[in-house]
Amino acid sequence: MTDLNLLLLQTVTGIALGSVYALLAIGLSLIFGMLTVVNFAHGAYFMVGAYIGVYVLSATGSFFASLLAVFFSTGLFGLLTERVLVRPLYGRGPDYPLLLTFGLSYVIIDVIRIIFGVEGLQSSTPAALQGSVNIGIGYFPIYRLFLIAAAAVIITALWLFIEKSRYGLIIRAGARDPEIVRILGIDVAKVWLLVFGLGTAIAGLSGVLAAPIRTVTPEMGIPVLVESFVVTVVGGMGSIGGAVIAGLLVGVVYSLTALYAPALAELSIFALMALVLVVRPQGLFGREGLME
């Protein structure tokens, strides 16, 4: 294998990793862009999605069934979180939901420890997606190619929903001026509920998709949360398109750094964030004054 082929393979590996980052950051950006809620429980939803997915896959043998189960169960969990816990804190400043979701994440982690134990679950790649295939520059794992394709499908479906549907129009309008949306007779509270549930459902999907390439433990969402916030900040808080581009960028930077300087791989994404913030404080595609 030539050095160029190795570099290209590592880049594709970074795109696969960046696909997970992009999905996580989309959920964060969707919730923040509409509700201005910094959801510190996002990593916990990622972890819950991985656990539910592995459990359903082992019980049914169907990876597709596990994806559906994770989407609806974590989405429902998000709906309940917004309706019961987050909604009473609207209007009290961004610190209140931040602290609430921060504490909620540790509650979720402890509940998972009680139910499944501290050792975690064994996760395996679905049989149909095992092995590798020649992509022209070398052999690459089939599951990672599937991961890229699945992320592309989810992102495209979300884009069509937001850009082409009536509810998507309401979401975009509510993100810019919720008061006008209220005047038009639309129940903004229901829109917020939908957005929070959709954001957590996407976090859960990213968890079950990442499970075969990560260790499924109660703490798996903690480092992922930090990484997803890096992606969100680089792309711009509240920007879904920015989350996608930044996710792929961070994944490639991490992967290429791991190839040439493994000890600096973690540091590289924070260096990228610092560089972007120095040049453009609101992120690549963010807008100023979002928290005002």
**Pair of tokens at residue 84:** 């019961």
d(CA 227, CA 46): 12
For residue 218, what pLDDT is reported? 93
Cross-strand partners of 216: 121
Q: Could you tell me which of 6, 18, 9, 248 has the C-alpha nearest to residue 133?
A: 9
At 91-128, the pLDDT tens digits run 787 788 989 999 999 999 999 999 988 888 888 888 88
Residue with tokens 């007779």, as numbered in its chain: 185
| Predicted TM-score of the model (pTM) | 0.91
The tokens 């903690």 sit on which residue?
Answer: 222
The Cα 124–Cα 208 span in angstroms is 11
CA-atom Rg of the chain in angstroms: 19
Sequential pLDDT tens for the chain (292 residues):
567 888 899 999 999 999 999 999 998 888 887 777 889 999 999 999 999 999 999 888 889 999 999 999 999 999 999 999 999 988 787 788 989 999 999 999 999 999 988 888 888 888 888 999 998 888 899 999 999 999 999 999 998 888 888 777 777 776 666 677 677 777 778 888 888 999 999 999 999 999 998 889 999 999 999 999 899 999 988 788 889 999 999 999 999 999 889 999 999 999 999 999 999 988 888 766 554 5
Neighbours of 87 (CB within 10 A): 15
Q: From the centroid of its chain, how far is CA 238?
A: 13
Task: Give residue 239's pLDDT.
Answer: 81
Cβ 212 vs Cβ 123: under 8 Å: yes
What pLDDT shows up at residue 80?
Answer: 95
Say how many C-beta atoms besides its own lie within 10 A of residue 166's C-beta: 7
Written as six digits, the tokens of 1 are 């294998």
229: which residues sit within 8 A by CB, 6+ positions away? 28
Are 244 and 235 a contacting pair, CB within 8 Å? Answer: yes
pLDDT for residue 51: 95
Residue among 15, 142, 153, 189 nearest 71 (CA): 153
Q: How many CA atoms does the CB half-sphere of 225 hold within 13 Å? A: 19
- Cβ-proximal residues to 280 (8 Å cutoff; 6+ apart), any chain: 286
